[in-house]
Amino acid sequence: MVRPFRFAIISDLHVTLPHTQYAYPSQFHFVEASIPALEQVLDALAAEPLDFVLLPGDLTQHGERENHQWLTQRLSQLPFPVYVVPGNHDVITAHGDEKTVSLSEFTDRYCAFGYGQQDQPYYHQELVPGVHLVGLNSIAFDEQGQQLPTGYIDMAQLQWLTETLQTLRGEWVMAMVHHNVLEHMPGQTTHPMGQRYIIQNRQVLIDCLQAHSVRLVLTGHLHVQDVMESGDLWAVTTGSLVSYPHPYRRVSVTPHHRGDLQVQITTERVQTLPDWPDLQTVSRQRMGDRSGPFMSRFLSCAPLNLPPHQAAELAPMISDFWAAVASGDSAIDYPSLPEPVRRYLHRFGAMDSQGNYRTIDNQAELTLKAP
């Protein structure tokens, strides 16, 4: 029987030391708040009886060696184990350069945070007796070492995963990877703006996880709060600590008398920081103010395919759209929009696979069936 255990999830930290910060006028991120926000969260969690903390990628702003160094030093001070996986912002090129880390340097620097002495960017660790984590790498590179624009799990990793899960048959296993595994937006696998956030060959990964009774996969990257299911597999993606609504999750797991696990998920938000006493309002406003080009492109893409002039006209009317999506559990409706646009955007609210309103993105109780 697995004992009860507790952990936290903090995703997409984008740690940015002040002298490494550079501005993107259109970005939604609040990277200037990355370190104070993380310090606040870690201080709060350090006072709790947690068994471990999971960080599903995008640990740094842009793979800077200095930012990785700061983070590993900070994580080493915590009273519980921390496990990480790389995000697309953590290893920009396979071989790195004078300022950014290579993939092999990433695993070396985070050897105390999941990788041990392995020379591969994926790993297996036992979290508590009878409960295991497989940390996967969804960052892929072309022959020149340049990062590919979508997530991908290479064949060597899939073979390793299959062999590892076979040895763990009958044990509880959860997976952590940066890119999404299940769709967290309608048509994410084919949408021009959505597919870069999902694993390109996700179906072979899903088949492997389900064949070996993995019930829970944890991801980041999309910067939204969302919980989805496919069969017996639950996928929890956690929003970014540096963009609205600045969330992190606490997870409590208890065994059930039938051998199942009950998973209780709660979400907290960073509400205030010394330089931003109303971080939630300021951050949501920034997202809305900078949403125009993003929303114009979104409306111009398939399946809506609106003409650019019409997309530009409608974009200001839905400036709060992405904030609502990122927040999770939102009921999205814009009655003044043309009906096809209104129906499409409505699908981005808190809907289950049958189109029913279901608020489990932030606070949820999930039942994981016994393997």
Mean pLDDT computed over 12-16: 98
CA 46/CA 52 separation, integer angstroms: 10
Q: Are 180 and 198 in contact (CB under 8 A)?
A: yes
Mean pLDDT over each residue of the chain, to the nearest integer: 96
Residue 296: enclosing H or E segment and its boundaries? helix 292-300
Question: Which DSSP letter does residue 318 get?
Answer: G
CA 96 distance to own-chain centroid: 23
Give the per-residue pLDDT at 258.
84
- Contact between residue 237 and residue 226 where contact means Cβ atoms under 8 Å apart: yes
Local confidence band at 354 (pLDDT 50, 70, 90 cut-offs)? confident
CB 332 within 8 A of CB 345: yes
Could you give the residue ranges of the DSSP H alpha helices within 85-241? 103-109, 155-167, 202-211
> Residue 113 carries which DSSP code?
G
Concatenated DSSP letters for 128-160? ETTEEEEE-----B-TTSBBPSSB---HHHHHH
pLDDT in tens, 289-342: 999 999 999 999 999 999 999 999 999 999 999 999 999 999 999 999 999 999
Helix (H, G, I), strand (E, B) or coil at 219: strand
In this predicted structure, the answer to whether residue 10 has a pLDDT above a threshold of 80 is yes
The answer to whether the beta carbons of residues 137 and 85 sit under 8 Å apart is yes
What is the mean pLDDT of the segment spanning 277-288? 97
- pLDDT level of residue 213 (50, 70, 90 thresholds): very high
Residue tagged 């009273």 (tokens): 79
Residue 255: predicted pLDDT: 95
pLDDT at 95 over 80: yes
3-state SS class at 34? helix
In 3D, which of 260, 261, 162 has the Cα closest to residue 211?
162
Q: Please report the pLDDT score of residue 277 as a whole number.
A: 97
Q: How many CA atoms lie within 13 A of 254 on its CB side?
A: 6
Q: How far is CA 325 from CA 12, 198, 328, 330, 361, in A?
A: 17, 17, 6, 7, 10
Q: Copy the structure tokens of residue 286.
A: 């920034």
Question: What residues pair up with 88 in beta bridges, in sequence order?
Answer: none
Q: pLDDT above 90 covers what percent of the chain?
A: 94
DSSP 32: G
pLDDT-derived band at 24 (thresholds 50, 70, 90) equals confident
Sheet holding 82-84, edge to edge: 82-84, 52-55, 5-9, 247-255, 261-269, 364-368
| Cα angle 118, 123, 126; round to 5 | 115
pLDDT at 23 over 80: no
- Confidence label for 249 from pLDDT (cuts 50, 70 and 90): very high
pLDDT at 9 over 80: yes
Q: All domains of the chain, ordered by start, with CATH? A: 5-271+364-368 (3.60.21.10), 287-346 (no CATH)
Tokens of 341: 């646009």
> Is 133 in contact with 124 (CB distance < 8 Å)?
yes
